[in-house]
């Protein structure tokens, strides 16, 4: 087995030229070596016992025209979901204040859109301005953006834009048919060019192969610059969606995915994202050891459950983890 010890280059030389075979070789590293290497790299760039805390809010729920096979909010599927129109700014600010009081430093607002419509955009910009004024970092995920929309969001004070590649280019068509991989790459370029931080990751446990998981990370790391934030979601299997009955992924393979993300994008925040309610505390602890240093915090993700704040506080206490300020 190839040794990957001391794989991290100095900051100026972060790699953007990974081949699929090299990424697969990382995945195939014996577990102890992989976690040791990932933790070693992690400590070069981050305080080892600090985790960044983001809280999510669905600002517009359900009725989405896209057909993403995993998603409860797609109008193509039949999930048991209450549709909700775009929220008022004041309601959003109320939720942001609560998140802040609970210790969140970033507030992420998500909308079930293919892309934002002109008639809604002023309200979206007002949400960014208001949340920013509270002193929180702002993040939004609204679907595809034009160059112009990215600039407007930046001017309103948006710090991060989340737009996931979701999976490898070859598996993508099995999951989504209404927008292309290239559409996603174009939106990420608009976000980057506008000068905002990029939050981009994907979902594992959708029936993809290890090579697909490697392909996702290869795409992310080979972007012109690494995303500042990389959410790794474990599929939440929602009844009524095409992926409801897919076989569960081995949690250790999820941990490996986190470790490989850490090795390939050493200075990025790697977020242990959706799927934590189905994960043991021990599996989550291994994810932190593998270099995950961000979570979604609060009872809800967008439409599905997340561990309660008391559960997470208790877990952090048991692990000696502090919430990053
Ligand atoms: N509609 C926008 C879009 O997709 O671009 C933004 C919201 S969308 C819900 C944000 C991301 O959540 C998706 O790209 C996907 O990676 C993740 N996601 C959605 N449903 C999920 C599920 N059931 N399990 C895990 N991740 C999920
Ligand atoms: C991301 O990568 N995960 C978050 C956030 N970005 C927007 C969303 C997870 C959604 C999980 C399913 C749901 O609650 O609807
Ligand atoms: Fe719509 Fe986003 Fe869900 Fe896809 S992931 S169906 S774009 S809300």
**Residue 321 near residue 49 (C-beta atoms within 8 A):** yes
How is residue 50 written in tokens?
A: 């600090």
pLDDT tens, the chain, 325 aa long: 344 444 444 555 699 999 999 999 999 999 999 999 999 999 999 999 999 999 999 999 999 999 999 999 999 999 999 999 999 999 999 999 999 999 889 999 999 999 999 999 999 999 999 999 999 999 999 999 999 999 999 999 999 999 999 999 999 999 999 999 999 999 999 999 999 999 999 999 999 999 999 999 999 999 999 999 999 999 999 999 999 999 999 999 999 999 999 999 999 999 999 999 999 999 999 999 999 999 999 999 999 999 999 999 999 999 999 999 8
Nearest residue to 145 via CA among 106, 196, 96, 87: 196
Q: What is the DSSP letter of 130?
A: H
Q: How far is CA 37 from CA 105, 112, 291, 300, in A?
A: 29, 38, 10, 33
CA of 112 to the centre of ligand 3 (A): 5
Query: What separation in Å is there between the alpha carbon of 71 and the centre of ligand 1?
Result: 6
The tokens for 121 are 């955009």
Residue 287 falls in the annotated catalytic set: no
Can you give the pTM of this predicted structure? Answer: 0.95
| Burial track 165-182 (b if 16+ CB lie within 10 A, e otherwise) | bbbbbebbebbbeebebe
pLDDT of residue 13: 67
Pocket test for ligand 2, best of 301, 303, 304 (most atoms within 8 A of CB): 301
Beta-carbon contacts of 304 under 8 Å, excluding residues fewer than 6 positions away, are 72, 236, 238, 274, 277
Q: Which of 232, 316, 311 has its CA nearest to residue 271?
A: 232
Q: List, in order, residues 6 or more apart from 20 with CB less than 8 Å away.
A: 211, 214, 215, 218
**How many angstroms does the Cα of residue 71 sit away from the middle of ligand 3?**
6
Give the model's pLDDT for residue 21.
98
Residue 6 DSSP one-character state: T
∠ at Cα 141 (140, 145), nearest 5°?
105
Asked if 215 and 20 count as a contact pair (C-beta separation under 8 A), the reply is yes
| Among the listed residues 216, 194, 250, the one whose alpha carbon sits nearest the alpha carbon of residue 31 | 250
Ligand 2 atom showing the smallest separation from residue 73 Cα: 15
Atom 5 in ligand 1: residue holding the nearest Cα: 143
């Amino acid at each position: 087995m190839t040794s990957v010890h001391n794989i991290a280059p100095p900051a100026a030389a972060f790699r953007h030229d990974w081949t699929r075979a090299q990424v697969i070789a990382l995945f195939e590293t014996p577990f102890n070596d992989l976690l040791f290497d990932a933790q070693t790299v992690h400590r070069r760039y981050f305080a080892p016992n600090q985790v960044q805390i983001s809280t999510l809010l669905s600002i517009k729920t359900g009725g989405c025209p896209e057909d993403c096979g995993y998603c409860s909010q797609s109008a193509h599927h039949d999930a048991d979901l209450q549709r909700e129109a775009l929220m008022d700014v004041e309601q959003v600010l109320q939720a942001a204040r609560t998140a802040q009081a609970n210790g969140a430093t970033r507030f992420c607002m998500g909308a079930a859109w293919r892309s934002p419509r002109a008639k809604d955009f002023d309200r979206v910009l007002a949400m960014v301005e208001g949340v920013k004024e509270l002193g929180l970092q702002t993040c939004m995920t609204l679907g595809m953006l034009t160059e112009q929309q990215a600039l407007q969001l930046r001017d309103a004070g948006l710090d991060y834009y989340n737009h996931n590649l979701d999976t490898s280019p070859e598996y993508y068509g099995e999951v989504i048919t209404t927008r292309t991989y290239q559409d996603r790459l174009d939106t990420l370029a608009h976000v980057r060019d506008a000068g905002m931080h990029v939050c981009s990751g994907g979902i594992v446990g959708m029936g993809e192969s290890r090579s697909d998981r490697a392909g996702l990370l290869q795409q992310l790391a080979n972007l012109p610059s690494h995303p500042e934030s990389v959410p790794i979601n474990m599929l939440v299997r929602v009844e009524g969606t095409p992926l409801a009955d897919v076989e569960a992924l081995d949690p250790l393979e999820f941990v490996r995915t986190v470790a490989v993300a850490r090795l390939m994008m050493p200075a990025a925040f790697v977020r242990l994202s959706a799927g934590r309610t189905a994960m043991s505390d021990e599996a989550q602890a291994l994810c932190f050891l593998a270099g995950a240093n961000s979570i979604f915090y609060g009872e809800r993700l967008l439409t599905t459950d997340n561990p309660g704040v008391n559960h997470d506080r208790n877990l952090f206490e048991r692990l000696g983890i502090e919430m990053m300020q």
